[in-house]
Amino acid sequence: MKTDRRKKVVTFGEVMLRLTTPGFRRFSQASEFVATYGGSEANVALSLAHFGIPTEFVTRLPDNALAHACVCSLRAGGLGTDGIVYGGHRMGIYFLEQGAAFRNSNVVYDRDDSAFATLRPGMIDWERVFQGADWFHWSGIAASLSQEGADACLEALEVARRMGLVISCDLNFRKKLWNYGRPAAEVMRPLLAYSDVLFGAEPEYREIMGLQPVGFKARTVQDTSFAESLPAFEAFLREVQACAPRCKHIFLELRNSLTANHNLLAAVLLSEGNFYHTGIYDIDHEVDRVGAGDAFVAGMIYGLLAYPTAPQQALDFALAASALKNTVYGDYNQVTVEEVESLMQGNTSGRVSR
């Protein structure tokens, strides 16, 4: 049975201008870019807003026309933006060259000295931000940009715990971002001690916790290798829990990329000591995989709020939301609860809805 879905969620991170080469062109071929906005924690918030969850997004932006346009876009997506603070001189930017077939996608970041990268503890009034909130979500990206950013995460986590919020974390390891002299594991492990819910991919758990991945090798939905690997995945998640004993729910999304546009997805969960797994989605015509993990996280949060006594349903919802995101252009998922639940029920026909 669903519970009251009107719980308030606060997410925290950097929102950036995304500039994408059109028509799968390479950077060297591009004479123009398609401009949108995105960023992991904003993507989570916008997905949750589409699911009907009251959501507040917290970040730091410069006080200029480009930032105000971004805020208008966030508000149009249904987000609360009262927690945004202003300062600094520029927005972060990232450039995306989308892959095709056997050519990988490529991301170039331009976010040094952005308003968010120069965020310091004390700039955000977390007690005011968390008033009336039930859930706080953060990710490793916010801690990766600078020591001051990691300290700001700690400040938020301490207040969130003191005020009794559920805290979730997406490991979100980005090798290109950890450049300020401390390894990700050293920074992240103490911060994870505050989290009740944890999400990541196998390589991220390896980077942060030193755990050897099991590997998801399924090539079709009928492939038996996933079922045969389930005991190993359960053991893997129990190792994660030993590293983060406060976490009650530990999610792991699994992806096997056959080509840049053909992927298979599955997921596993350790919830209150019990192990759960999904089936497999075969996505053979991917539109945009950026933000698929964020869509999973939003589905995970929604699932735990909407189905608090049904961890399997929460996991199935998260994976279906992520699968649908692969069909949606842009950073964030623009699907409804009804669309996700329809996919969960096996409606994969893609027929026109009239």
Q: Which domains does the chain carry? A: 9-344 (3.40.1190.20)
Count Cα atoms within 13 angstroms, Cβ side, for 310. Answer: 13
Mean pLDDT of 304-331: 95
CA 121 from chain centre, in angstroms, equals 23
Radius of gyration of the chain (CA): 19
Residue the block writes with tokens 């080469």: 21
Q: How far is CA 50 from CA 284, 307, 340, in A?
A: 25, 17, 11
- Angle at the Cα of 197 (from 244 to 164), degrees rounded to 5? 100
At 352 the pLDDT is 36
Q: Do the Cβ atoms of 113 and 103 come closer than 8 Å?
A: no
Q: What is the pLDDT of residues 141-193, one digit of tens each?
A: 999 999 999 999 999 999 999 999 999 999 999 999 999 999 999 999 999 99
| Pick from 159-168, 249-258, 272-281, 287-296: least confident | 287-296
**Higher-confidence position of 162 and 6:** 162
Residue with tokens 């997905």: 47
Residue-averaged pLDDT of the chain: 93
Q: How confident is the model at residue 286 (pLDDT cuts 50, 70, 90)?
A: confident
**How confident is the model at residue 99, as a pLDDT?**
86
Instruction: Give me the residues paired with residue 60 across strands.
Output: 85
